[in-house]
Amino acid sequence: MKLSSRNLLLSLTVLALSLSGAACDCGGTSKSCDCAPEVAFTSPSGTAPLTEFHDTKPAIEGIQYPVTVTTRCLPAGTKVNLTNSLQPSLSVEGTVVIDDSATQTGHIDFSEQTFLPGINHVCVSGTVAVDRNQDGSGGCSARTAPLESCRDVLVQLGIPACRFESPTEGATLAAADDQNPAEGFQHEVRLACKGVSDGTAVRLSTNGRRPLEQTLSFGGALFASVDFYEGENLLHAETTGSGGETVVAEIRATVNTGGCALRLLPVDGTTFRVADDEDPAVDGLQVTLTAETDASGTFACADGSAVTLTVGTTEYTGEISSHQA
């Protein structure tokens, strides 16, 4: 078949349009990734002063103490900087390690850092390349976002103080560390104190639960078989110094036995009264109890997970939906 130059030009034009149409994404460009970068200090807690009693390396000037943070929506390998207002020329770089890729939660370990007497205003800051959405999905346009999180850490020398000796700040306990065959996870908690008289009561609470109490003996207090949750646990101890001062110690420790985290609400120690009865027509006191899990991360129970609640000898069943049952 013979084509004229005009017909040939028309054919090429149509072909070009066809190819162009095949490559076209008529849905337009994807939306920017909306995950909000987050970083939170896990150590030091910032709730109690650091003293020479907490110094992990006494031979080095200042108070040496570990600095760790958790992260969310920071891709693996992201680098951020740690600064301290009392050491303005110092900047320490840390790198994100991912703990759960599905939710992009992770952590940064800055190791031991130097804290000086006074208020240390420490900050973690940087620029983050956000590459996913808040729900963990991808397929969005990457964007950069600024990041900063700060904490004030007070250092006071020569004051009464307590420290956790077991578990220590930031420790991770595995299934092999369970010290009691009873249901759940139990582990001892040991504290050492200075400037606190033997015979003084030491109170320990975990995750805001009703406190346990022991008496200080030879500068220490031992709490045997303390219940821990799967996941992160906040340990808070209080006592009274020899001069009447309130002495506080607080750390976070993680239990990782391969399970997911559940917390029962209302919290331990809650008192129910007649006015709380949700169905007075039924014998006994009828109340609602809720099992709650983490919203995201390594220890979040998946939607649909079966939950069994035992009250006395009666079992109730449910399943996780939107982080609770």
Place of tokens 């996870």: 185
pLDDT of residue 29: 60
51-65, 124-138, 201-215, 256-270: least confident range: 256-270
User: pLDDT (tens digit, 9 = 90+) per residue, 68-96?
Assistant: 999 999 999 999 999 999 999 999 999 99
Rg of the chain's alpha carbons, rounded to an integer? 28
In the prediction, which pLDDT does 106 show? 92
Q: Which of 108, 114, 111, 140 is nearest to 126 (CA)?
A: 108
The structural architecture, per CATH, of the domain 161-255 is Sandwich (2.60)
Measure the CA–CA gap between 299 and 308, rounded to whole angstroms.
18
CA separation (Å) from 178 to 68, 258, 268?
25, 13, 21
Q: Where in the chain is the domain with CATH 2.60.40.10?
A: 161-255
Per the model's pLDDT, the better-predicted residue between 226 and 295 turns out to be 226
Q: Does domain 38-155 have CATH number 2.60.40?
A: yes
Residue 80 near residue 150, CB atoms below 8 Å = no
> How far apart are the C-alpha atoms of 74 and 98, rounded to whole Å?
9
For β-strands 185-194 and 201-206, DSSP reports them as: unpaired
| Tens-digit pLDDT profile for residues 179-210 | 988 888 999 999 999 999 999 999 999 998 99
Tell me, rounded to whole angstroms, the distance of Cα 129 from its chain centroid. 22
Question: What do you get for the CA distance between the two ends of the chain, in Å?
Answer: 75
Count CB-CB contacts under 10 A for residue 76.
12
How do beta strands 97-100 and 161-166 pair?
A: unpaired
Kindly state the average pLDDT of the residues 258-267: 82
